[in-house]
A and B are shown apart, each in its own frame.
Chain A
Amino acid sequence: MVTSLLMVLPLIVSLVYKEDCYISFLISMGVSLAIGFTLMVFCKTEDRVIYAKEGFVIVALSWLCMSAVGALPFVLSGEIPSYIDAFFETVSGFTTTGASILDDVEMLSHGTLFWRSFTHWVGGMGVLVFIMAIIPASTDRSIHILRAEVPGPIVGKLVPKMRDTAIILYLIYIVLTVIEIVMLLLGGMPLFDSLVHSFGTAGTGGFGIKSDSIASYSPYLQWVITVFMMIFGVNFNLYYLLLTKKIKSVFRSEELWTYIGIGLVSTAVIAFNIRDMYSSLSETVRISSFQVATIVTTTGYATADFNLWPDLSKTILLLLMFIGSCAGSTAGGFKISRVIMLFKMIKREIKSLIHPRAVGVVRFEGKKVDDPVLKSLSAYFAIYVACFIGIFLLISFDGYDILTNFSASAACFNNIGPGLGAVGPAANYAGYSVFSKFVLSVAMLLGRLEIYPILFFMSRAAWSKK
């Protein structure tokens, strides 16, 4: 079963290769190569069939290893001296959270900044999916890896072969990222800045390179980023449908419309709520829509300190944190499709209370949702709430106020980044204790991999031979 560790080697290598300017990166590369190689030697003899269990373990283990190794450059370069801080920062990167422990981002070197943002980009679509796209030999059962890594209740393939599916997803991802880079360049943003911000947007991560995030850029650039955040929050399958000219089915997507609806309504309400704080209407709309987009897609950039906003707006943002965006996108959160199905299920339950004999079918995207899917959905909801409460409780030891703790848990668990109160967009997570940082790191991984792989990884069943 541990066989799966094999996968770690190419994965780490592919990641770390990206940076070349610093010795610390070279050392990390060496370390990761060494680890990968040792693992390869140790695991060679066992057979390589990947069942559901192995799928979970591979994904969980790879993500942990990646984060552990990915943290090395920060430590070695001396820019983040404490390992746990660096670990937090890296997990935050790979899980596309964007929560930082740094007081002053601007003092970091370019290489480190780039690496930080690049983890977003890689983590957004999924590292193992990337590996799958580039290595030719994938076994028949590797669907389990895809299932464990790609967020969403139902994972479907676009084309018969897994590898082709992975390639298509990554191509769409790359093309969209490049378009954004070009758009930002056209708006006068320097090349380095636009690269970093595009990576952050594409992975819906949110690491910036300025203390005030995006606020100091021009309105045009802010709009570009808003739009692209929303774009990356859409299910990537829809882009494939667009490419294959099945526009009709794109427009029939319930999830897409709900997503857009949620975005527009929240923007409108917040804009109305904060109308007195900004001078012009266009500024109000720009700022509120940016904030809504950044939260709903779980990115975590900011153009305004929403800590200072009225409570209604803050509450809306907090709720949006939980909802997240579409399944099959790079965003985190509970996912809109799940919310929709959950509500439909509740509707059916109520109906069956009133008409005990009524037979109801839950439909989603025009198709019937099978009972097992609904069952696992309610289980997921329960476990989601349970995990959240656990995290909330554990970090409450640190003595911050409830709002801070609550929003910090929500922001990490849903991979957003900035929360409210003491962890608001203008502040950071540096104040938390080592223990809380570790808990929050785990929370981010839980959120990104949708709980099960990590939870399963920590259970005994994963390691028993049976």
Chain B
Amino acid sequence: MKIVVAGCGKIGQTVIGSLVAEGHDLVAIDSDNEILKELTNIYDIMVICGNCADSDVLEEIAIHEAELFVALTGSDELNMLACFVAKRMGASNTIARIRNPEYNDDSLVFLRKELDLSMSINPDMLTASELFNILKLPSAVKIEHFSRRNFEMIELIIKSDSELDGVKLADMKGRYGSKVLICAVQRDDNVYIPDGNFVLQAGDKISVSADHTDISKLLKTLSIHRKQSKNVMILGGSKSAFYLAKMLIHSGASVKIIEKDINRCNELCEKLPHAMMIHGNGAQQELLLEEGLRSMDAFVALTGMDEENILISIYAAANNVPTVISKVNTHELATMGARLGLDCIVSPKNITSDIFVRYARALKNSMGSNVETLYKIMDGKAEALEFRVQPHSRITEIQLKDLKFKKNILIAGIIRGKKIIIPGGDDVILGDDKVIVVSRDHKLNDIEDILG
């Protein structure tokens, strides 16, 4: 599939990287030749230097052959214009990054319609909703929803005093009922798709699938705290901080935002009347303590500096704040932060590029693939996919234990109408079921791909 990406900043590069890995033909447009040169050294793509809204540039790369045009430059207006031109010149689908909050209210619907955009993407908003999801269920690291939110997959970290430490997966059933399935385990840097003989250890990051109520039950038996965070301190008044604060306030939490720039403080104060704005430097520990860091349920570091976010988060964790989340965009720093003991690190560019991978697979979907939803789990090392099963597929009406799967494949759930089945060996898949598959090292396009 031919995909054109305009604007090769941080997010653009990540998107290009993950789409190339998916095997698409990529063309990158940017006005900076140096960046492009670097990109051609790393990825097998074509690049062109120029203005992405210039019809000559788009003509040169044969935009009419492109299935997808993505505008990710720093300017909303340029993105919209570029998408408009590309669409008029024959690109099948266009996606624009629109991050200015003023466009992201009611006018977005109008813009999308008038510009004929297939989708608009707002990384700040996406980051904020990811953060919000985590804050709703603070003990989880990440939550993914399938099939209109009926089915959830959450990532948890097993603490050293947890009951799960040393438990064999085959024994889980007896202890906590059968409705919970551990579908992936990350230990150190490796990801395992576990079988019944796998023994959990403290420090493992596990991915658990279950329906919504069962997850609550499990968390309760494990006596894991699962109340929504009520007092949240946000460091840095960025755009994502604004969206996050808005969502939190809407759900009834109290929010304190610390921001260095007084003008930005005033601006946010005007837009968020219910949030408490503090003008000051969040890197000063005294200030954080004065503002009651120790009594907070959650601390979210959202400044533009990765290093600052990591260091202050470590400080917050040392002060016993139950949930500490830090935004880190650089991959190398993120792994370093994890090694320093930060459980929960969010990367806007990864969140965004996941969306594109999902969208590209869905586009392919209309060309014969059957992926309904796709999530990258465990830092992108494994994937969870939702498939719709065609009637008379090769995998239907056979007990799961009799099917020969490829290695590192696991059926995490079957959704039949409104019923959710956490499958065991005796279960069968029927036509029109939706099946959630967890896989490592495979690029699945169809449910039948899981067979060995």
Q: Mark A243-269, 1 if CB is under 8 A from B, else 0.
A: 010000000000000000000000000
Docked-complex contact B62 and A142, CB < 8 angstroms: no
Docked-complex contact A159 and B25, CB < 8 angstroms: yes
Docked-complex contact B40 and A143, CB < 8 angstroms: yes
Docked-complex contact A140 and B46, CB < 8 angstroms: no
Contacts of B62 in A (CB 8 A): 244
Contacts of B27 in A (CB 8 A): 160
Contacts of B26 in A (CB 8 A): 160
Docked-complex contact A370 and B41, CB < 8 angstroms: no
**Cross-chain contact of B45 among A139, A144, A160 (Cβ < 8 A):** A160
Q: Mark B1-34, 1 if CB is under 8 A from A, else 0.
A: 0100000000000000000100001110000010
Contacts of B20 in A (CB 8 A): 140
Contacts of B44 in A (CB 8 A): 138-143, 160-162
Contacts of A160 in B (CB 8 A): 2, 25-27, 44-46
Count of A residues near B, CB < 8 Å? Answer: 17
Judged by a CB distance under 8 angstroms, whether B42 is at the interface is yes
Docked-complex contact B33 and A52, CB < 8 angstroms: no
Counting chain B CB atoms within 10 Å of each CB, the highest count among A160, A164, A244 belongs to A160
Judged by a CB distance under 8 angstroms, whether A44 is at the interface is no
Contacts of B40 in A (CB 8 A): 143
Judged by a CB distance under 8 angstroms, whether A157 is at the interface is yes
Judged by a CB distance under 8 angstroms, whether B176 is at the interface is no
Minimum Cβ distance to chain A for residue B89 (Å):
15
Docked-complex contact A159 and B46, CB < 8 angstroms: yes
Q: Which residue of B lies closest to A142 (CB)?
A: B44
Alpha-carbon distance A338/B401, docked complex (angstroms)? 67
Docked-complex contact A161 and B25, CB < 8 angstroms: yes
Count the A-B residue pairs with Cβ separation under 8 angstroms: how many? 32
Contacts of A142 in B (CB 8 A): 44
Docked-complex contact B42 and A140, CB < 8 angstroms: yes
Contacts of B2 in A (CB 8 A): 160
Contacts A140-B20, A244-B62, A370-B33: A157 and B46 contacting too (C-beta < 8 A)?
yes
Q: Which residue of A lies closest to B37 (CB)?
A: A372
Judged by a CB distance under 8 angstroms, whether B103 is at the interface is no
Contacts of B45 in A (CB 8 A): 160
Alpha-carbon distance A144/B40, docked complex (angstroms)? 9
Contacts of B43 in A (CB 8 A): 140
Which B residues, 38 to 52, have Cβ-Cβ distances below 8 Å to chain A? 40-46
Minimum Cβ distance to chain B for residue A367 (Å):
9
Q: Which residue of B lies closest to A50 (CB)?
A: B41
Counting chain B CB atoms within 10 Å of each CB, the highest count among A52, A138, A140, A141 belongs to A140
Counting chain A CB atoms within 10 Å of each CB, the highest count among B25, B27, B46, B62 belongs to B46
Q: Which residue of B lies closest to A156 (CB)?
A: B46
Alpha-carbon distance A143/B2, docked complex (angstroms)? 19
Contacts of A159 in B (CB 8 A): 25, 46
Docked-complex contact A144 and B25, CB < 8 angstroms: no
Minimum Cβ distance to chain B for residue A321 (Å):
33
Q: Mark A43-86, 1 if CB is under 8 A from B, else 0.
A: 00000000110000000000000000000000000000000000
Contacts of A138 in B (CB 8 A): 44
Minimum Cβ distance to chain A for residue B3 (Å):
9
Q: Which residue of B lies closest to A164 (CB)?
A: B25
Q: Mark A81-111, 1 if CB is under 8 A from B, else 0.
A: 0000000000000000000000000000000
**Cross-chain contact of B41 among A141, A157, A161, A164 (Cβ < 8 A):** A141
Minimum Cβ distance to chain B for residue A165 (Å):
9
Q: Mark A434-450, 1 if CB is under 8 A from B, else 0.
A: 00000000000000000
Contacts of A144 in B (CB 8 A): 41
Alpha-carbon distance A191/B377, docked complex (angstroms)? 62
Alpha-carbon distance A348/B44, docked complex (angstroms)? 36
Alpha-carbon distance A160/B46, docked complex (angstroms)? 4
Which A residues, 112 to 159, have Cβ-Cβ distances below 8 Å to chain B? 138-144, 157, 159
Minimum Cβ distance to chain B for residue A159 (Å):
7
Alpha-carbon distance A140/B42, docked complex (angstroms)? 6
Alpha-carbon distance A216/B218, docked complex (angstroms)? 92
Alpha-carbon distance A157/B26, docked complex (angstroms)? 12
Contacts of A161 in B (CB 8 A): 25, 44
Q: Which residue of A lies closest to B45 (CB)?
A: A160
Contacts of B41 in A (CB 8 A): 51-52, 141, 143-144
**Cross-chain contact of B42 among A141, A157, A164, A244 (Cβ < 8 A):** A141
Minimum Cβ distance to chain A for residue B92 (Å):
16
Alpha-carbon distance A51/B40, docked complex (angstroms)? 12
Alpha-carbon distance A141/B2, docked complex (angstroms)? 20
Alpha-carbon distance A139/B44, docked complex (angstroms)? 8
Contacts of A143 in B (CB 8 A): 40-41, 44
Alpha-carbon distance A178/B20, docked complex (angstroms)? 35
Contacts of A52 in B (CB 8 A): 41
Minimum Cβ distance to chain A for residue B175 (Å):
44
Alpha-carbon distance A51/B41, docked complex (angstroms)? 8
Q: Which residue of A lies closest to B2 (CB)?
A: A160
Counting chain A CB atoms within 10 Å of each CB, the highest count among B2, B33, B41 belongs to B41
Q: Which residue of A lies closest to B61 (CB)?
A: A160
Contacts of A141 in B (CB 8 A): 41-42, 44
Q: Which residue of A lies closest to B20 (CB)?
A: A140
Contacts of A139 in B (CB 8 A): 44
Minimum Cβ distance to chain B for residue A421 (Å):
45
Alpha-carbon distance A149/B402, docked complex (angstroms)? 53
Minimum Cβ distance to chain A for residue B45 (Å):
5
Counting chain A CB atoms within 10 Å of each CB, the highest count among B40, B44, B45 belongs to B44
Q: Which residue of A lies closest to B24 (CB)?
A: A160
Which B residues, 383 to 426, have Cβ-Cβ distances below 8 Å to chain A? none
Minimum Cβ distance to chain A for residue B88 (Å):
20
Minimum Cβ distance to chain B for residue A373 (Å):
10
Alpha-carbon distance A139/B21, docked complex (angstroms)? 11
Of all A-B residue pairs in the complex, the 5 with the closest CB atoms, nearest first, are A160-B25, A160-B46, A140-B44, A157-B46, A140-B43
Interface residues of B (CB under 8 A from A): 2, 20, 25-27, 33, 40-46, 62
Cβ contacts A to B, 13 pairs, < 8 Å:
A138-B44, A140-B43, A141-B42, A141-B44, A142-B44, A143-B41, A159-B46, A160-B2, A160-B27, A160-B44, A160-B46, A161-B44, A164-B25
Interface residues of A (CB under 8 A from B): 51-52, 138-144, 157, 159-162, 164, 244, 370
A51-B41, A140-B44, A157-B46 provided; 6 other pairs, C-beta below 8 A? A141-B41, A159-B25, A159-B46, A160-B25, A162-B44, A370-B33
